[in-house]
């Protein structure tokens, strides 16, 4: 295994830090399955993974997990990595009613490699999100790009930030404070580890390839460094992957979500 991937596996996956908790979020273990779900069903997303494999009877744990979330009436994502055991985990998940979604690439690397001077288009500014209006405008951006989705990601971000201002930082790019947000992104921190992680980055189509997304990468990487984190991790789409690998991040594994419910 790549040494940096091994470091990530030990500090993040084995420690059940894949998804940091927030207000009203449970992170627990059921046998070999790491689980993340809300205390109040339906108030946040549910995710599980199995970084140490599933033992001699994988189908038992898959069925048990499906039954647990079915009983709560919730959709759950089983996040898999390309090196997970058993080797036929994907087939077993699908036989138990989980449906494959799009692959992503796990990138890891030094946060310092992501800090560069970026020139934004004239009249465009980058700043930290810090008001109710900002969160609403970020929500509007997500609706524009992705369409209606279950839940409200921006409300979750707002609750997390209010409960612990040091757990994440949110940045937006705009022309003015009354207009649409052009791009929004955030950085989460895993205290006690060497890793921060980048999320979001959705950009209005007409504003892509103008340095806007890249400016949020630099901002988030510098903020992580300032908070004492050495490494950055990202699950990347085909759109952002070339930018980040060119900056020196390593493609160390692939991740694939399987969802049920």
Specify the 3-state DSSP secondary structure of 121.
coil
Mean pLDDT, residues 6-30: 92
Q: Give the C-alpha separation, 256 to 99, whole Å.
A: 10
pLDDT digits (tens, 9 = 90+) for 166-190: 999 999 999 999 999 999 999 999 9
Name the percent of the chain lying above pLDDT 90.
Answer: 87
Is pLDDT at 150 greater than 60 in this prediction?
no
- From 162, 155, 184, 180, select the one nearest 171 (Cα to Cα): 184
**Residues present in the chain in total:** 261
Sole residue written with tokens 């340095």: 211
Question: pLDDT value at position 51?
Answer: 98
Q: Show the tokens assigned to 93.
A: 């998940």
Mean pLDDT calculated for residue range 109-133? 97
Strands (E), 50-110: 76-81, 99-100, 104-110
Predicted confidence at residue 147, as pLDDT, reads 85
Q: 249 and 116 in contact (C-beta within 8 Å)? A: no
pLDDT tens per residue, range 69-117: 999 999 999 999 999 999 999 999 999 999 999 999 999 999 999 999 9
- 72 backbone dihedrals φ, ψ, rounded to 5°: -90, -5
pLDDT value for 152: 76
Cis peptide bond prior to 196, omega within 30° of 0: no
* CA–CA dist 76, 35 (Å, integer): 10
Determine the pLDDT at residue 186. Answer: 98
Q: Which residue has the higher pLDDT, 40 or 238?
A: 40
259 in helix, strand or coil?
strand
Digit-coded pLDDT (tens) for 29-70: 999 999 999 999 988 999 999 999 999 999 999 999 999 999
pLDDT at 99: 98
Q: What is the mean pLDDT of residues 16-26?
A: 86
67/6 Cα distance (integer angstroms): 32
Residue 243's pLDDT band, with cuts at 50, 70 and 90, is confident
Q: What local confidence, expressed as pLDDT, does residue 14 receive? A: 96
- For the chain, domains (ranges, CATH) are 3-105 (no CATH), 110-253 (3.40.630.30)
Averaged over 220-234, what is the pLDDT? 98
Confidence (pTM): 0.93
160 burial (CB, 10 Å; 0-12 / 13-18 / 19+) is buried
Q: How many CA atoms lie within 13 A of 55 on its CB side?
A: 9
Task: With residue 182 as reference, give the H or E element that holds it.
Answer: strand 181-189
């Amino acid at each position: 295994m790549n040494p940096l991937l091994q470091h990530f596996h030990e500090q993040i996956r084995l420690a059940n830090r894949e998804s940091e908790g927030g207000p009203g979020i449970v992170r627990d273990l059921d046998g070999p399955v790491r689980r993340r779900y809300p205390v109040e069903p339906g108030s946040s997303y549910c995710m599980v993974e199995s970084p140490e494999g599933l033992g001699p009877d994988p189908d038992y744990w898959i069925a048990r997990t499906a039954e647990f979330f079915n009983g709560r009436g919730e959709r759950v994502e089983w996040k898999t990595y390309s090196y997970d055991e058993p080797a036929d985990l994907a087939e077993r998940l699908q036989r138990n009613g989980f449906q494959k979604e799009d692959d992503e690439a796990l990138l890891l690397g030094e946060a310092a490699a992501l800090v560069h001077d970026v020139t934004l288009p004239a009249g465009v500014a980058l700043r930290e999100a810090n008001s109710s209006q900002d969160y609403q405008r970020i929500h509007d951006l997500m609706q524009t790009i992705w369409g209606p989705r279950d839940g409200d990601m921006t409300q979750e971000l707002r609750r997390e930030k209010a409960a612990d201002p040091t757990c994440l930082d949110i940045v937006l790019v705009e022309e003015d404070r009354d207009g649409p947000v052009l791009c929004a992104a955030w950085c989460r921190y895993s205290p006690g580890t060497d890793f921060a992680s980048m999320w979001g980055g959705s950009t209005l189509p007409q504003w892509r390839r103008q340095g806007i997304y890249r400016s949020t990468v630099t901002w988030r990487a510098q903020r992580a460094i300032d908070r004492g984190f050495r490494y950055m991790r990202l699950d990347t789409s085909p759109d952002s992957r070339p930018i980040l690998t060119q900056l020196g991040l390593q493609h160390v594994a692939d991740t694939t979500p399987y969802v049920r419910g």
